Amino acid sequence: MSHVTRFLAGLGLLAAASSALAQPLTLDTYNPREAAVFPVSSTLISGEKDAILVDAQFVTAP
């Protein structure tokens, strides 16, 4: 078996294993509406062990 064939086979197995182990993500959106000074949304994206807060409230559009 050539090195390229082994590499591609390993890459395929890795891709299959990582997609099988992936956990679903949860999205929680917070929007204070008129109760805040700036009525904008923030979203918390969380998984089993990690989370990220997307809080792009003061980004200017081009």
Q: Could you tell me if residue 34 is inside a domain?
A: yes
Q: Count up the domains in the chain and report the number.
A: 1
What local confidence, expressed as pLDDT, does residue 51 receive? 92
Tell me which residue range forms the domain holding 45. Answer: 24-62
Q: Could you tell me if residue 13 is inside a domain?
A: no
Please check the confidence at residue 1 and state whether its pLDDT lies above 60. Answer: no
More confident residue, 33 or 54: 54
As a whole number of Å, the CA-based R_g of the chain is 20
Q: Could you tell me if residue 50 is inside a domain?
A: yes
| Percent of the residues in the chain that have a pLDDT greater than 90, as a whole number | 10
C-alpha–C-alpha distance, residues 61 and 49, integer Å:
32
More confident residue, 57 or 6: 6
Token code pair at residue 1: 């078996």
What local confidence, expressed as pLDDT, does residue 25 receive? 87
Q: Could you tell me if residue 62 is inside a domain?
A: yes
